[in-house]
Structure 1
Amino acid sequence: MSTDSGSVKSTLEKYGWRRGGAGDGGDISSFHYLDNANKIEAVLEVEGVFAYGFDNEAKLEQLYFVDTTVKKAYKAGVSNTEMDDRLIQLGKLPPIFYAEVIAAVKAIKVRTKGESQ
């Protein structure tokens, strides 16, 4: 889904998400939302979001959930395989946590086809 970089950052931060590490040039590849009580982390991968500026087009990529008690080298984009033992199936997520995650993602302003920046 296409959206504005500023919409992604401001919306997710308002809902309590934190940015993943910034790469060369200040690009942010993911946002994270933690459920400390249940040891679960939601990860939303993004493209075109930068630590500075709000004008560029951003894309929402993968959304997945990981068990934070399973220790493994972590990097956004690595958990895209069903073989990753950190991944949590949707049916095993606490309903309130899942609802909070979906509410935050749905609150991001999505750019419709043909809409300009």
Structure 2
Amino acid sequence: MSFYSMPLMALVSVVLLLPIALLPTIIALARRHPHTLFIALVNIFGGLFFGIGWLVALVWSCVTVSELATKKSVADELEHLNGLRERGIISDAEFETQKQQLLNPPR
């Protein structure tokens, strides 16, 4: 093996192994995960220092965010409805109806 083939082999190894090492981050970016930055940090630093961080980041990047985490709160909904009422898009009666539905959901 010549002196010049060693750096070439190292470069090829890095090019082949880097996508595998960053797979959790790549998956999170492709899925537009809301916690992509944190997944990348766990992937990089946890993978470097503890090893288990890569596996944690991989699982985290594949987990679907539940609807509860992305659902608006009642206060946010009321604020949105109030904005619609102030702009004249809905009437006061419609606002009150929607408000009562938000505050007293059917059981």
Q: TM class, shorter-chain normalised?
A: under 0.3
More relative contact order in 1 or in 2 (CA 8 Å, sep 6+)?
1
Q: Where is the helix percentage greater, Structure 1 or Structure 2?
A: 2
Flag the structure with larger Rg: 2
Q: Where is the strand percentage greater, Structure 1 or Structure 2?
A: 1
Query: How does the TM-score come out when normalised to structure 1?
Result: 0.23
